[in-house]
Amino acid sequence: IPSTWACVKALGLAGLYRGSLATLMRDVPFSMILFETFATLKQQLQAEDRFEMVFVAGLLAGATAAFLATPMDVVKTRLQAAAPGAKIARLYGQIWRQDPLAFFKGAPQRCLIVAPLFGIS
Protein backbone atom coordinates (compact mmCIF):
# COMPACT_ATOMS: atom_id res chain seq x y z
CA ILE A 1 0.00 0.00 0.00
CA PRO A 2 1.64 3.25 -1.07
CA SER A 3 2.05 6.02 1.45
CA THR A 4 0.52 9.46 1.03
CA TRP A 5 3.96 10.85 0.23
CA ALA A 6 4.46 8.25 -2.51
CA CYS A 7 1.09 9.23 -4.00
CA VAL A 8 2.02 12.93 -3.93
CA LYS A 9 5.33 12.15 -5.62
CA ALA A 10 3.66 10.04 -8.30
CA LEU A 11 0.54 12.15 -8.94
CA GLY A 12 1.42 15.58 -7.63
CA LEU A 13 -0.57 17.42 -4.97
CA ALA A 14 -3.51 17.81 -7.33
CA GLY A 15 -3.56 14.03 -7.75
CA LEU A 16 -4.76 13.68 -4.16
CA TYR A 17 -7.93 15.51 -5.15
CA ARG A 18 -8.63 13.55 -8.29
CA GLY A 19 -12.31 12.80 -8.38
CA SER A 20 -13.31 15.63 -6.02
CA LEU A 21 -15.73 17.20 -8.50
CA ALA A 22 -17.25 13.81 -9.27
CA THR A 23 -17.59 13.16 -5.53
CA LEU A 24 -19.45 16.44 -5.10
CA MET A 25 -21.63 15.57 -8.08
CA ARG A 26 -22.59 12.40 -6.20
CA ASP A 27 -22.82 13.70 -2.64
CA VAL A 28 -24.83 16.89 -3.18
CA PRO A 29 -27.77 15.22 -4.99
CA PHE A 30 -27.55 12.29 -2.55
CA SER A 31 -27.94 14.64 0.43
CA MET A 32 -30.74 16.60 -1.20
CA ILE A 33 -32.68 13.41 -1.96
CA LEU A 34 -31.95 11.90 1.44
CA PHE A 35 -33.04 14.82 3.60
CA GLU A 36 -36.15 15.68 1.58
CA THR A 37 -37.26 12.04 1.41
CA PHE A 38 -36.59 11.53 5.12
CA ALA A 39 -38.58 14.63 6.11
CA THR A 40 -41.50 13.67 3.86
CA LEU A 41 -41.58 10.05 5.06
CA LYS A 42 -41.30 11.07 8.70
CA GLN A 43 -44.29 13.35 8.25
CA GLN A 44 -46.30 10.75 6.28
CA LEU A 45 -45.56 8.03 8.82
CA GLN A 46 -46.31 10.40 11.70
CA ALA A 47 -43.01 9.26 13.12
CA GLU A 48 -42.06 12.17 15.40
CA ASP A 49 -42.11 10.20 18.67
CA ARG A 50 -41.91 6.62 17.43
CA PHE A 51 -38.41 5.21 17.09
CA GLU A 52 -39.38 2.36 14.78
CA MET A 53 -41.12 4.71 12.32
CA VAL A 54 -38.16 7.12 12.31
CA PHE A 55 -35.92 4.10 11.67
CA VAL A 56 -38.10 2.98 8.74
CA ALA A 57 -38.13 6.52 7.32
CA GLY A 58 -34.32 6.60 7.54
CA LEU A 59 -34.02 3.18 5.90
CA LEU A 60 -36.27 4.12 3.00
CA ALA A 61 -34.73 7.56 2.54
CA GLY A 62 -31.20 6.12 2.60
CA ALA A 63 -32.04 3.37 0.12
CA THR A 64 -33.79 5.83 -2.22
CA ALA A 65 -30.93 8.33 -2.15
CA ALA A 66 -28.32 5.58 -2.58
CA PHE A 67 -30.14 4.09 -5.57
CA LEU A 68 -30.68 7.42 -7.32
CA ALA A 69 -27.08 8.56 -6.72
CA THR A 70 -25.57 5.31 -8.02
CA PRO A 71 -24.95 6.60 -11.58
CA MET A 72 -22.83 9.44 -10.18
CA ASP A 73 -20.99 6.97 -7.95
CA VAL A 74 -20.23 4.72 -10.92
CA VAL A 75 -18.77 7.65 -12.86
CA LYS A 76 -16.76 8.82 -9.81
CA THR A 77 -15.28 5.35 -9.34
CA ARG A 78 -14.39 5.01 -13.02
CA LEU A 79 -12.88 8.49 -13.04
CA GLN A 80 -10.65 7.65 -10.09
CA ALA A 81 -9.53 4.43 -11.78
CA ALA A 82 -8.99 6.05 -15.20
CA ALA A 83 -5.78 7.47 -16.58
CA PRO A 84 -4.97 11.04 -15.57
CA GLY A 85 -6.81 13.55 -17.71
CA ALA A 86 -10.03 11.55 -18.00
CA LYS A 87 -13.10 13.79 -18.24
CA ILE A 88 -16.39 13.30 -16.40
CA ALA A 89 -18.58 14.12 -19.42
CA ARG A 90 -16.60 11.73 -21.61
CA LEU A 91 -17.06 8.91 -19.07
CA TYR A 92 -20.81 9.53 -18.90
CA GLY A 93 -21.00 9.33 -22.70
CA GLN A 94 -18.83 6.23 -22.86
CA ILE A 95 -20.93 4.38 -20.27
CA TRP A 96 -24.15 5.47 -21.98
CA ARG A 97 -22.99 4.19 -25.38
CA GLN A 98 -21.49 0.91 -24.17
CA ASP A 99 -23.96 -0.22 -21.50
CA PRO A 100 -26.53 2.19 -20.00
CA LEU A 101 -27.42 -0.37 -17.33
CA ALA A 102 -23.86 -0.03 -16.03
CA PHE A 103 -24.96 3.21 -14.39
CA PHE A 104 -26.78 1.06 -11.82
CA LYS A 105 -24.17 -1.66 -11.31
CA GLY A 106 -23.83 -2.21 -7.60
CA ALA A 107 -27.04 -0.32 -6.77
CA PRO A 108 -28.60 -3.13 -4.68
CA GLN A 109 -25.38 -3.62 -2.71
CA ARG A 110 -25.05 0.13 -2.19
CA CYS A 111 -28.64 0.31 -0.92
CA LEU A 112 -28.02 -2.58 1.48
CA ILE A 113 -25.05 -0.76 2.98
CA VAL A 114 -26.40 2.79 3.04
CA ALA A 115 -30.01 2.16 4.14
CA PRO A 116 -29.21 0.79 7.62
CA LEU A 117 -26.67 3.57 8.21
CA PHE A 118 -29.34 6.21 7.72
CA GLY A 119 -31.97 4.19 9.55
CA ILE A 120 -29.72 4.18 12.59
CA SER A 121 -28.54 7.76 12.29
The three-state secondary structure class of 19 is coil
- Number of Cβ within 10 Å of residue 31's Cβ equals 12
N-to-C CA span, the chain: 32
Work out the angle between the directed axes of helices 51-81 and 20-44 (0-180°, nearest 10): 160
What pLDDT was estimated at residue 1? 60
- The pLDDT score that the predictor gives to residue 63 is 97
For residue 67, what are the CA distances in angstroms to 26, 62, 79, 103?
A: 11, 8, 19, 10
Q: Largest Cα–Cα distance of the chain, in whole Å?
A: 54
Burial (0-12, 13-18, 19+ Cβ within 10 Å), 63: buried
Half-sphere exposure of 76 (CA within 13 A, CB side): 16
Per-residue model confidence as pLDDT tens digits over 53-104: 999 999 999 999 999 999 999 999 898 888 878 899 999 999 999 999 999 9
The mean pLDDT of 40-55, rounded to a whole number, is 85
